[in-house]
Structure formats: C-alpha cells, structure tokens
A and B are shown apart, each in its own frame.
Chain A
Amino acid sequence: MLEAIKSEIEANVSGCRLEVVPNSSPSGQHSLLIDCERALAVARFLRDAAHLRFDYCSNVTGIDWPGKEIVEKEKIKKLVDGVEQEVEEVRKTQSAGHLEAVYHLYSMEKKHGPVILRMRTKNRSDQTHLPSLTPIWRSAEFQEREIFDLYGIVFDGHPDLRRILMWDGFEDHPMRRDYVEPDDYEYEPTPHDEVLEKSKQHTHGVRAR
C-alpha cells in the first residue's frame, strides 16, 4: 500500500523526493520519509485526495538520533625509516545526527491507516527547522509544541510555538538523548541513592542537624 501511495504522491506533487523507511518489526508499519520543502503539499494531497482522505492525524512525536562515531580505516603508504611501508591509519569522525518528527495518519472517512510520515532535520544543533503541519491537521498543534519543548525542533508556520510542558524560562530540551539535568541542589530531608550522593557534594558530607 505504501509503495502505491508513494508513486501517487510523486505523480501529484512535482519535484518531491520520497523514501520508504522499512520497519523490520512484525508490526510491518513502514514509513515515508518526505522532504521538508514539499511537506505541506504532500500533507495536503494526502488529506484531500478523494480516495485517500487521511483526514485525521493521530500521533505526532519527535525522535532524537544523535550522531555516531564513524571509524574509517585507510591503508596509506608512508616512508618509515627511509623504507616505504604500508601503514594503517584510523580516522574518527562524528556524524551530525538528526532530529526526526513522525506523524501517524488515519482516515476517519475511509477507515484506513496508518500511513506514517517522517521528516528529518539537517542536524541537531543549528539547523533544526521543520515545516509545521498544523495548518493541515490542527491535532498537531499541541503535539508539535511538545516536540519543540522537549526536543527543540522549530516548526516554521506553527501558529503558537511556545513551550508547553516545561516553563518558559527553561533552556534545554529534556527528551534529547544527551540531556544532562542541571545540578540544582535542594534540601532533601531523607536523601538516598543518587540524591544522597548529590547532597553530600553540596553539603561536603555534613548533614544538617
């Protein structure tokens, strides 16, 4: 089904690059990776095409894929003590990683689905913009706000993009894999485990009272 939808989108939305992301789990829920420039057109087509009518966007969520260390080994010829030798050189680079937004679409009219859309940001640091699909499905409004809050994806075109669960003055994005919680010590009457260790650092081992 997904392949058919893919070719239909390609026929109807000009210049759209799509990619099927396979899912190896028994659920068999494969997804479509859509390109961000044409995302709104793709979404509008899926919602309005008479035989598809994905009028209901159920679940919207973010995923963090941090960069991985890529180890490349290369054999180069070098002069060692005047003799040419083959030396293996190891180069380590860090891939940028990306953030992902996932949309689960169903059709209430045709009672079919899900079709799963994915969008990826270019990296996790400065290019974290994605187009908002709230103009197409209002159900994304709070859920995109939540992704912005917890993952830091900025949705362009969202009508009211503010933090939703954390407070306005909060700075980081807690659902990121590399999030470190701030060391905000508070007096704890019965500390134990990690909290005890933390309170020891702050009170230099001296318990109050």
Chain B
Amino acid sequence: MSTATEAVRLIPKPTDSHECQLLEVSMGPQHPSTHGVFRMDVALDGERVVKLKPVFGYLHRNHEKIAETESYLGSMPYTDRLDYMCSLTSNWAYALAVEKLAGIQVPERAEYLRVITAELTRLQNHASLIGFLLQDMGASGTPLMYAFREREKILDLFEALTGARMMCNYMRFGGCRVDMPAGWLQQAQKVVDAFPRFLDEYEQLFTENEILMARTQGVGVLSGELAVNAGITGPMLRASGVNYDIRKVDKYGIYERFAFRVPLGDHGDVYDRYMLRMLEMRESVKILQQALRDIPPGPIMDPKTKIRGFRPKAGEAYGRTESPKGELGFYLISDGSSNPYRYRVRPPSLVNLTVLEGMCLGQNVADVMAILGSVDIVMGEVDR
C-alpha cells in the first residue's frame, strides 16, 4: 500500500553538478490552456521536459455512484455533463448501452435523427478543438472566434430541436425525445451546405501556415503500435495511422448506410491530428448530406418501450460509440430493479491521456500545451 500514499518524487537526488538542476513546475490547474481544471507536475531541464505526471480529480463528483442511485432515465441528463461540448453523442452512447441491455429496437427516423445530431456535434467539436489548439499556440482570438461563429449556428439548431444549446438531454431508450420542428430540416441543410465553405476558409488560413507547421510537425509523435496498446481511440489513434473507426467496425445505428471514408495520418504528430480533424469534418458533412436527404417520416420512439418505471432484466451489456473524442462506452449491470447495479463510463478523454507523458518527454515546455491541445480532453469526462 506504500506506493499509494507516497507522493511521487519528481526531482531526483540533488547532485553537485550545476548542469543537471531540474526545475519543478506545476502547470495548472487554473490555466486556460489546460481545458478545465487539470494539472501536470512537470520537471524541466532548461526548456526540456524530463518528467510529466498528470493530476486528475478536481472535477470528480462520482458520476457513477450517483447513477447507481438514479433510475435508468434519471442518468440521461447527467450524461450531458460528461463531455459538455458533445452532449448528444454522450446521450447516444448511454442510450445504445441500455438498448443492448434490454434488447430495444429503434425506429428508423430516430436513427436518422441520431446520426444527424451526432455528426453535427462532431463538426462543432472538431472546429472548436482546432480553434482551441491554435489559441493555445498563441494565435489569439481569430481561429477560435471563426470556429465559434460556426459552432453557434449548430448550437442554434440544437436549441430549436432539443430546447438546449449544450445540455441537450435528447435521446431516449428506443428513440429520441421530440421530433424536429417545422423548417428545421431546411435550416440544417443550409448550415451543412455552408460548412465546407467555412472549412475552405479555415484551411486556407492554417493548413499551410508556416508557424503552425513549425510548431506542430514532428512534435508529440505517437507510434501506431503504442497507440493501440495504450487504448488510444478516436482522431488521435487514426492520426497515428491505425484504421479503427467504431462507426465502421461496429456499424452501430445505421452507419453502414452512409458512404464515407476514414482519414488516416502518417506521422502521428500534432500536425497530423490537426489535419485529421479537418478531413473528418469533411466526411461528416458527407454523412450529413446523405442523412438529411434520406430521412424518412415515421415514429421517433419505439412504442413498446416503457420509459418510466423502466426495469430491464438482470444481465449486463457494454455499448460503445465513436464520440468525437474517441471510444465512449457505457457498461451497465442490471439486477432487475429500476436502477442500475453498476454503471460505468469508459471515458475516451482519460484513456487518451495515458500517453501524454511519453509524447511530451524531450519536448520543449511550450510544446506541452500544443500536445495537450491536440489530445482533445474535456475534464467533465476525465474526472466524472
């Protein structure tokens, strides 16, 4: 038990030589570029990072324990607060796990609504992430504001559909909560049609930008082999050249109906992670165009599913989705009562941080911010 209580000693034993004096820096928890309350204990040799230990738990509220005392439906609003940038994909992951647990079918129109909302979520997440990343590297204001301008249009769509901009609480087991209001589809079409123009503009600004390339190419390199072993998922994994997209592998929902490609990176550095998200947004636009074109009329809820007083049979299920940050999974155990016996969130943000130290070692301290920004974390999900 001694390993648990002993604080980690960052600084090695002092030596007589002046050359190897290390500087211990506590980065965070209150800093804009740590994306929430996140701290890193960093040891520096001059500008070079020689040790980096992430410290979690500032936002810990034991979401999983709360869910054990809530009904199955009662946990749905809590899932909004996990990844507060992408509440709709979190909703979907939880709904999917419960549907697996109880064997619920989802009507077709609801599946389309899920795909549309999830891909819109991916668009706004990736656009803002790139904005944040550039902000962290000193491109103050412009990139983030451009991204937020587009994000605002998507959030307006969410508000019209679900009643909330960020805490959408939209999906239900066996469907979605409400159908789209009149004119929503046309409005969504307009936003999606205009999005590639924004991407062109964005790419013109950054993709071949000399400063961006100098700051990100060859920085924070992650090999594909290590990425797989460390359970890295999402854009970060694919930037390292591993072809694994759960939308393609599991084909959950109705993703097998859409034609889209999975972009892959070559080098696994920060620049590849930036570029991969750019390309993924273009693929999401493709999916959205097909979904908005094909969405059929019909019911949006499975009529056989009882939402209130919902009691699945005893058993367990693990359901996972490709959220914008990676594999978001929910593991549920039912004992036949109205609240889950065990409710577990598999947080992509937390697991993706496993390799943070490895990526930062030997880099300059200023690169740590760029590397952390390219991982894409949200502390609501890391700490739960």
- Which residues of A come within 8 Å of B, CB atoms? 23-27, 29, 55-59, 61, 63, 102, 104, 108, 111, 114, 116, 137-143, 148, 150, 154, 160-168, 174-175
Contacts and interface: CB of A to CB of B under 8 A. Distances in A.
A121 to B, nearest CB: 15
Interface of B: 1, 3-5, 7-8, 56-57, 60, 62, 64-65, 100-103, 226, 228-233, 242, 244, 249, 312-320, 327, 329, 331, 333-334, 342, 344, 346, 350-351, 353-355, 383-384
Given A59-B344, A174-B65, A25 B329 contact: no
B322 to A, nearest CB: 12
Contacts of A148: 4
B57 A166 contact: yes
Contacts of B346: 58-59, 61, 104
A162 B8 contact: yes
Contact of A108 (B100, B242, B320, B329): B242
Given A25-B101, A114-B318, A55 B228 contact: yes
Nearest to A143: B351
B207 to A, nearest CB: 28
A61 B57 contact: no
Contacts of B228: 55-56, 108
Contacts of A162: 3-4, 8
Given A111-B249, A162-B4, A56 B318 contact: no
4 nearest interchain CB pairs? A139-B231, A25-B315, A26-B103, A27-B317
B313 A25 contact: yes
A154 B5 CA distance: 13
Contacts of B315: 23-27
Nearest to B64: A175
Contacts of B333: 63
A139 B4 contact: no
A142 B102 contact: no
A29 B354 contact: no
Nearest to B224: A108
A59 B355 CA distance: 16
Contacts of A25: 100-103, 312-317, 334
